[in-house]
Structure 1
Amino acid sequence: MSLDHRSEVPLYRNPDAPVEARVADLFGRMTLDEKIAQLHAVWLKLSADGRHQSRTEDFAQRDTGVPLDTLLRHGLGQVTRPLGTHTVDPEEGVKALNALQKQIVENTRLGIPVMAHEECLVGLMVKDATLFPSPLNYGATWNPSLVGRVGDVIGEQARSIGCHQGLAPVLDVSRDPRWGRTEETFGEDPYLVGVLACHYVNGLQGERRDLIATLKHFVAHSASEGARNHAPVHVGPRELNDTFLLPFEMAVKLAHAGSVMPAYHDIDGVPCHTNRDLLQGVLRDKWGFDGLIVADYAAVNLLYTHHGVARDAAEAAAQTFNAGLDVELPGHECALHLKEALERGEITEATIDAAVKRVLRAKFTIGLFEHPYVDPDKVNLQSAEATAIAREVAIESAVLLRNDGVLPLAPDSAQKIAVIGPTADDPLALLAGYSFPVHLINSGEQSNSQITTPLHALRERFGNERVAYARGCYIIEERRAGAPVFPGDVSMDARSADARDELISEDTTQIADAVAAARGADVALVFVGDLAGLFQSGTVGEGSDTDSLALPGVQQALLDAVVASGTPTVVVMTGGRPYNLGGLEERIAAQVMAFAPGEAGGEALADLLTGRANFSGRLPLSVPKSGGAVPYTYNHRLKSAGTPIAYHFGSRYPFGFGLGYTRFEYGDLDIVAAEAPIENGTFEFSFTVKNVGARSGVEVVQIYVRDRLASTSRPVRELKAFARVPVEPGASARVRVRLPVDMLNFTDGRGERIVEPGDFDLMIGSSSRDIHLDSTLTVAGDATRTLERDWRMVSDVQVV
């Protein structure tokens, strides 16, 4: 009797078979068209009845003229933001995604399921999901475990809607706060960014590793020329490795992130999407990364439409897949031309095959073949746990920069409060750019009912009769569609250059009402800052860069007038970058930097301002004295200040700074051994932190190091360890630190990380400026050491 092989279950459908065997079996069955189908996405507005519509946007996915049925005939690598593309009830969105998945699984020859990706930087960017604070808030907590819990909650919400890949976290190291995407970063220190990134990735991907995190934007996107979006980056190989690559290296090696996204810009004339030295040489060959490299939206077609390094879509696809790309996002504008590039000899089938195998491997690894569908009845985008964690981040991240004693306010007194400012009662002012309601601005829709503004929260604490409110001014009077432009697609004439100025309000007619409210109150709380919005639909966010650190619009005039009223003034700043206060920093009673504290931000600020909670946030980036002082970071080199030192150089509030409602003293530094061998040595030391105030609090201890003599110029100090230390009033805590010698490395001319023998200044403090204990550490050895691939990247800090 003959055996009908057609009835056999293919090996690739056997969940018990090894992943590599399944990949080989499936790959061996694929045609070239089926291979190419796995290397791109389709951007759709999905429908549960299967009548899906293509989404086209000038900036991301233009109409290619290919019918949808033709696009899906050979399968599909990814579907772009199935629930995050437009407003759809989550349950209906899941049904629509299942309908697409059913079409792919049952109506294509091989039935390879499609991966779905969503944005998830500040919560899942879909309707009804928890609106978490911004990454700058994550950084300001200095709390890695809390950031890991954020990632865990976002990951569970993502799984519940059938998301397989999250486009987060952002590991760009902030260099210039004028850059609109500063709000997406964890801060300006590569070690802080790297540690927080590892916890976020571990939380998001989970123990099952069935959801892929995406590290972006690889690499140095935040160091753009003039802090302008997409602009060229000018960094040498040493700085690139020591500052910008370090967080990616940590997240790849320690957290095993599943995906990396290259950046839009070029470095020394080479666009990141075509930089094989980075994508293949560093990422895969040197670090051992084995995940997916996915394009940033439209970045492949920008190779020929903007960068001018490819003559057409086919060559653009060839260049970036030759460099190491695996999947074009958000659509198929260039990948569909890979056959043409193959025929022209611009790419080999072996290169295509390697990318296809990586895509298949990822799909098998996350269990997509066994679980292609998701239950719409189990969608879970809101929970008490998620709300509590969002509020905890908001509380722990708010930074008290100044307080002359006016804070905390007393709700049980007769104190009258004036709440003033354009951000006091605007729900969107609490949100970062990659939150769903902010993305809805360009569609004219609104979705912010779950947000309590600071005004409403303060009225709940004090009662309506004791809280007077005056807006004072607008930042933007009307949030509207049509404001954004994609950088590079607009002519540089005077009209287009002035377009952004037309968006920001210059109306001062409401300031008089604000002054009257302040004069009738005991304390004036002035809420100022910015509004997130993509591509100049806001004052901060992707494509919403600035040339100044002055408050947008007429907010400075409002603040001047309120302070001149004589009423003690507390400034509460929210937004995606720090701003200067026009010289009023020493005249106000208190100042709070809350960044974008998310859906629970209003209640968290009310808790902090009234003393129900204590401030414990610390700045994740410096606040330069002015726009003329940037770029300024705490870990600059000595000569960055100029000679003589430039008067405008520096920061009023430095990296790591923050106050609270109690005070701490440092003492009893005990270094177990001041000398450690260069080969695998570890410095061990401990010190005491005492709460000398009247209430409990949290101190954020910070350990910095400076290399006294090196073969290249080194920063004046670098963060090497940190910890949050809770201490009750009158009590003390002992902090024990283990600092690996490996972490005293820097990059040499070969591009290798090395440690040199010699002396290092040890500085222990409460900020990068406020150093309370110091000593000398010595790396003992006869020769320079080149670090191995798996070097020790993290210090161990224990609080006892």
Structure 2
Amino acid sequence: MVKAAVSTFVAALCPLAGLAAAASPSNGSAHLDPSLTPGERADSLLRLMTWEEKVGQLGGIRRLAETVGGKVSYNETSFEEIRKTQNGQIGFGAPQNYAHDLLPIANRVRSEQINNTRLGITYITIADSVNGLMISGGTMFPGAISMGSTWNMPLYEQAIAAIREENIAMGTHWVLSPEVDLAKDPRNGRNGEMFGEDAYLVGEFAAHYIKTMQEKDANGFVKVATTIKHWVYGSSSGGVHTASIQGGLNHVLNDMGAPYVKAIRESSPLSLMVSYASVDQVPMSMNRYLNKKILRDLLGFKGLIMSDAGSIRNMYTQAKVATSFQDAGLKAIRGGLGHELSPQPPSVFPTLINSVNNSEVAGLIDDSVRAILEVKFATGMFDLPLPSIENLNATLRNEKHLEVNRNISREAIEVVQLYFRPEYTQIEFPVMKLIRFEKIDVAAGESRRVDLTVPLQELGYFVDGEWTVEKGLYNFWVGSSSRAEDLQ
């Protein structure tokens, strides 16, 4: 049930629901004609854009809202400051926030972008969606590595169709999934996002994910654009998240790259994300050879290439291969990247605005802007109405989705053999005690001690389901032990 305050806010926004289709510049440009191809519409709009508007499309606001005191918090001042130079896409932000609280805020900023900017170039909303929404309130399916163990493709397609419909209900038409890397190193903290270690298995599940997500609606629009990631990743030295991969072209293409070949040639994903990692010490965010010669020329990938979150910045702050943020931006766009994901400042691509007199960079930026505009036109962002709270209520966690979840969860169950070090072997069951648990944020490679018995919204961590959370109380238990620190 939606809170009264939220319902009132949504009611006030209802007249805005069709503005995405109605908004248009007064000159009646060809980009507003849905009978044209996405490429034709993108070319038409590109000719109308200023230099600043073009650079703005290269990034976006990844964190629309935060969680403060267990409640959703939208900082309009901060949002407007970022929007000046990064306005290609938006993401919802803190995953502890509920979908019903976020949709009114998202619709507000969407309608403002459509109606209060010169050309009315709409945002496209993006989200990680490996096994559900990356916000609270949706249906949480098993992790990808669990669903990958089922080998039940028809059932898996039902699960992805449910995830797709819940994303659409939030106005999300671009997901940063599927993960098509190989889970070969058990030290890699992100194995749960992957389908498994076998290239054939991973390629099959990735292809079915893409085809199901990118199914077209009655108007011919792609329902949800997909992103294959992370090109290339999964075998970093020591299992370290951002480390270099040691291996030649044969290893990259015939082992790690095999699922990408299948996904690209059979399913045509609209975008691809490069990894944080390096290959032979060259960061993927600037790897011209792999991004252009191999990905574009050899494999024939035609879609948008984006960074992983903060990976362009890392070339200056971590890898030390760039002399400044601006240098990192130039290396990235010359290395084949066309869009930046940046969850928090500083972002790098806004510095490209200083390259207005560089004809080479200007041409690369035109190509990059054309790519994201094509994704927007392909998914109907200039034509579809804004999502409604009524459809959200009817879609999230409906009985059909829950039944699919129950079915695939049953098939995804695996028996796991636990191995304990000698000092951990004195465990007495069934005596149970509540303990404090050290949760590792595997995505960032960071850790801290947190009390997982408090409400989840008070924690800044993902708890279950690989990039998906549900709001509530989470209790972690362990058998009593002879080690006193286990029970503190």
TM range (shorter): 0.7 to 0.9
Residue 113 in structure 1 maps to residue 126 in structure 2: no
In structure 1, how many angstroms separate the alpha carbons of the residues matched to 2:193 and 2:480?
25
Deviation at 1:341, TM superposition (A): 4.5
* C-alpha distance 485-242 of structure 1, shift in aligned 2 (>3 A): closer
Of 345, 363, 366 in structure 2, the residue corresponding to residue 353 of structure 1 is 366
**CA–CA distance in 2 between the matches of 1:69 and 1:76?**
10
AA paired with 2:391? K
- Are the counterparts in 1 of residues 59 and 89 from structure 2 also a CA contact under 8 Å? yes
Structure 1 residues 555 and 288: CA distance shift in structure 2, 3 A: farther
The aligned residue for residue 300 of structure 2 is: 288
Which residue of the other structure, out of 51, 56, 59, is the alignment partner of 1:32? 51
If each structure's helix is expressed as a fraction of its own residues, which one has the higher value? 2
1:163 aligned residue = 172
For residues 708-723 of structure 1, the aligned pairs below 5 Å read: none
**In structure 2, what is the Cα distance between the partners aligned to 1:540 and 1:381?**
17
If asked which structure has higher relative contact order (CA below 8 Å, sep 6+), I would say 2
1: CA distance between counterparts of 2:234 and 2:477? 25
Aligned 8 A contact 1:204 1:213 in 2: yes
Give the letter for the 2:380 counterpart: G
C-alpha deviation, 1:88, in angstroms: 3.5
**Structure 2, unpaired ranges of 5+:** 1-24, 67-72, 418-426, 453-458, 468-475, 483-488
Partner in structure 2 of residue 53 of structure 1: 75
Q: What's 1:378 paired with?
A: 391
State which of 388, 396, 409 in structure 1 corresponds to 2:411.
396
* Separation in 2, partners of 1:537, 1:133: 14
CA drift at 1:90 = 2.1
1:15 aligned partner: 34
Which amino acid letter does the alignment assign opposite residue 149 of structure 2?
Answer: A
Q: CA deviation at 1:330?
A: 2.9
In the other structure, the counterpart of 1:136 is 145
Q: The residue matched to 1:176 in structure 2 has which SS?
A: coil
* 1:58-457 matched pairs, under 5 angstroms: 68-73=79-84, 76-80=87-91, 82=92, 84-208=93-217, 209-219=222-232, 221-331=233-343, 333-341=347-355, 348-371=361-384, 373-379=386-392, 380-399=395-414
SS at match of 1:117: strand
More strand by share: 1
2:267 aligned counterpart, secondary structure: coil
Structure-2 change in CA distance of 1:539 and 1:290 (3 Å): closer
Contact 1:74 1:108 in 2 (8 A): no
180 and 44 in structure 1: CA distance in 2 versus 1, 3 angstrom threshold: closer
Q: By how many angstroms is 1:354 displaced?
A: 0.6
Seen in structure 2, the aligned counterparts of structure 1 residues 400 and 21 have a Cα distance that, compared at 3 Å, is closer
| C-alpha spacing 1:284/1:229, structure 2 compared with 1 (3 Å) | same
Inter-partner Cα distance in structure 2 for 1:371 and 1:485: 34
Are the structure 2 counterparts of residues 10 and 89 from structure 1 closer, same or farther at C-alpha, using a change threshold of 3 Å? same
Instruction: State the secondary structure of the residue aligned to 1:212.
Output: coil
What SS does the corresponding residue of 1:348 show, helix, strand or coil? Answer: helix
In structure 2, do the counterparts of structure 1 residues 212 and 18 end up closer, same or farther at CA, with 3 Å as the change threshold?
closer
Verify the 8 A CA contact 1:155 1:206 in the aligned structure 2: no
Q: 1:175 to 1:35 in 2, by over 3 A?
A: same
Equivalent in 470, 477, 500 of residue 436 of structure 2 = 477
Q: Is the 1:149–1:200 Cα contact (8 Å) retained in structure 2?
A: no
Structure 2 CA distance for aligned equivalents of residues 72 and 342 of structure 1: 20
RMSD value over aligned CA atoms? 3.4
For residues 29-57 of structure 1, give each alpha carbon's deviation from its aligned partner in whole angstroms, at most 9, with x where no partner exists. 1111000010001134359xxx9427xxx
- In 2, the alpha carbon distance for the partners of 1:310 and 1:132 equals 40
> How far apart, CA to CA, are the structure 2 residues paired with 1:69 and 1:174?
40
SS in 1 for 2:90: strand
The 3 A distance-change label for structure 1 pair 75 and 218 is closer
The 10-residue stretch of structure 1 (331-340 or 71-80) with the greater mean CA deviation from structure 2: 71-80
Which residue of the partner structure matches residue 10 of structure 2? none
Q: Distance in 2 between matches of 1:346 and 1:265?
A: 30
Shift, 1:71, TM fit: 3.9
Runs of 4+ in structure 1 off by over 4 angstroms are 478-481, 483-487, 502-505, 534-542, 552-558
When residues 111 and 536 of structure 1 are mapped into structure 2, their CA distance, relative to the original with a 3 A threshold, is closer
**Where do 1:694-705 residues align within 5 Å?**
none
In 1: Cα distance, 2:260 partner to 2:379 partner: 22
| 2: CA distance, partners of 1:324 / 1:30 | 22
What do the CA deviations read for 1:157-207 (whole angstroms, capped 9, x no partner)?
A: 100110011111111101111211111111110001100111112122223
Q: Alpha carbons of 1:553 and 1:94: their partners in 2 closer, same or farther (altered >3 Å)?
A: closer
Kept after mapping to 2: 8 A contact 1:137/1:393: no
Residue by residue over 1:752-794, the C-alpha shift from the partner in whole angstroms, topping out at 9 and shown as x without a partner, is xxxxxxxxxxxxxxxxxxxxxxxxxxxxxxxxxxxxxxxxxxx
- Pair 126,226 (structure 1): closer, same or farther in 2 beyond 3 Å: same
Contact 1:304–1:313 under 8 Å retained in 2: yes
Q: In structure 2, the residue corresponding to 1:116 is in which secondary structure? A: strand
* Whole-angstrom CA distance in 2 between matches of 1:89 and 1:301: 30
Alpha-carbon distance, 1:366 to partner: 0.9
Instruction: Please tell me whether the aligned partners of residues 23 and 361 of structure 1 are also in contact (alpha carbons under 8 angstroms).
Output: yes
Alpha-carbon deviations, 1:624-669, whole Å to 9, x = none?
xxxxxxxxxxxxxxxxxxxxxxxxxxxxxxxxxxxxxxxxxxxxxx
Residues 485 and 535, structure 1, Cα contact 8 Å, conserved in 2: no
Shift of 1:393: 1.8
- CA distance 1:15–1:300, change in 2 (3 Å): same
> CA 1:555 to 1:259, structure 2 compared with 1: closer, same or farther past 3 Å?
farther
CA–CA separation in structure 2 for the residues paired with 1:538 and 1:123: 14
